[in-house]
Amino acid sequence: MHLSQPYLLFLGDAPDHLAAKTARGIHHWRPDICVGQLRLPGCETTLGLPDMTVEEAAAHGAATLVVGVANRGGVIGETWRSVFREALENGLDIAAGLHQRLNDIPELVELAQDYGRALHDVRHPTEAFPVAHGVPRPGKRVLAVGTDCSVGKMYAMLAMERTMKARGLKVDFRATGQTGILIAGGGVSVDAVVADFISGATEVLCPGNDHDHYDLVEGQGSLFHASYAGVSLGLLHGAQPQYLVLCHEPGRAHMRGLPGFPLPDLEDCVDLNLRCARLVSPDARFIGACFNTSALDDDAARRVMHDAGERLGMPVVDPVRGGVEPLVDRLLADG
């Protein structure tokens, strides 16, 4: 899936900042591809971008209207549809990661065909992927893995990409979830791929490359999560990573959505991910950990990261509080 850029970010009638978190993620990581925002009456948030109509955005070169807001149930309301129709009529593609598919709305499909535009349902891959082969391939790959869901795996890889590009390295962020795809402009939402083909889809996403090229692969779920471990394992084998980054949120009471399931010990998480990764990448190793310490004050965050680093024998950072330079240093020293 490849999205045309730049974007007009659609905030719709978002009632608060959280409802527009997808748009916020895109704007944070790719401000250079965001020409403006489109808000409807009742919208209670802003990205600080210029407010534009579809026609104004098209005049400024926008290529895709990106739905950066989610409502209850992930449905496309009638007030949104009129904007979507206008976007197609003005030569823009539309991309959305909602549960309701753009391609299931006949009027939008018909308009897209009439105007030669594309409707991208980024949550729902349409490609036919092969079964993974597990054969070693050139290039270097880093995969974020986690103790749980939603602990900062995408953020960690994007932070590393930004730092590595600033150093002039050859590097690409490889998106495996809907928000990551919208940020990167392409990728595969692996949690929507049929189970037998998750690893194969990941091999397609990050194929063999130059010996000095790095693919930073967005992780999903956790090998310890009873609901999503299957996706995590398929992604781990398909990515065939030589390097791993452990992502964790200290103080989380239990696995997300699973009361009664505690988070694993960090050492157990490191051990299991290495054992599974080495099926296809015998020399896989961790270069460090990224902690989300947003719930801690500065002193507590420093203490938690220092203690974890001592236990694990690797650098532990918070990408927001201090950046990821130590992880990049370790990666380059090892590679």
* CATH code, 222: 3.40.50.300
Average pLDDT in the 276-288 region? Answer: 98
pLDDT for 76 beyond 90: no
CB 186 within 8 A of CB 33: no
Q: How many structural domains are present in the chain?
A: 2
| 115, 151: one domain | no
* CATH code, 14: 3.40.50.720
| 186, 145: one domain | yes
Tens digit of each residue's pLDDT (9 = 90 or more) over 179-198: 999 999 899 999 889 999 99
pLDDT, residue 334, reads 85
In a domain, 250, yes or no: yes
Residue 77's pLDDT band, with cuts at 50, 70 and 90, is confident
- What percentage of residues in the chain have a pLDDT greater than 90? 89
Average pLDDT in the 285-307 region? Answer: 97
Residue 51 to residue 182: CA distance in whole angstroms: 20
pLDDT, residue 12, reads 94
Which amino acid is it at 28? H
pLDDT, residue 123, reads 83
Residue 75's pLDDT band, with cuts at 50, 70 and 90, is confident
| 116, 145: one domain | no
Residue 268 to residue 10: CA distance in whole angstroms: 42
CB 183 within 8 A of CB 175: yes
| 77, 217: one domain | no
CB 183 within 8 A of CB 141: no
| 112, 196: one domain | no
Residue 266's pLDDT band, with cuts at 50, 70 and 90, is very high
pLDDT, residue 127, reads 84
| 303, 169: one domain | yes
pLDDT, residue 324, reads 98
Sheet containing 243-248: which strands, arranged edge to edge?
A: 170-174, 213-217, 140-146, 243-248, 285-291, 316-317
Q: What is the mean pLDDT of the chain?
A: 95
Tens digit of each residue's pLDDT (9 = 90 or more) over 195-234: 999 999 999 999 999 999 999 999 999 999 999 999 999 9
Tens digit of each residue's pLDDT (9 = 90 or more) over 96-119: 988 889 999 999 999 999 999 999
The range of the structural domain enclosing residue 242 comes to 140-334
| 100, 148: one domain | no
Instruction: Count Cα atoms within 13 angstroms, Cβ side, for 335.
Output: 24
pLDDT for 125 beyond 90: no
| 60, 162: one domain | no
| 189, 304: one domain | yes
In the block, which residue shows the tokens 């597990």? 134
Which amino acid is it at 310? E
Nearest to 29 by CA among 56, 5, 59, 13: 5
In a domain, 133, yes or no: no
pLDDT for 90 beyond 80: yes
In a domain, 16, yes or no: yes
- What percentage of residues in the chain have a pLDDT greater than 70? 100
Average pLDDT in the 248-259 region? Answer: 94
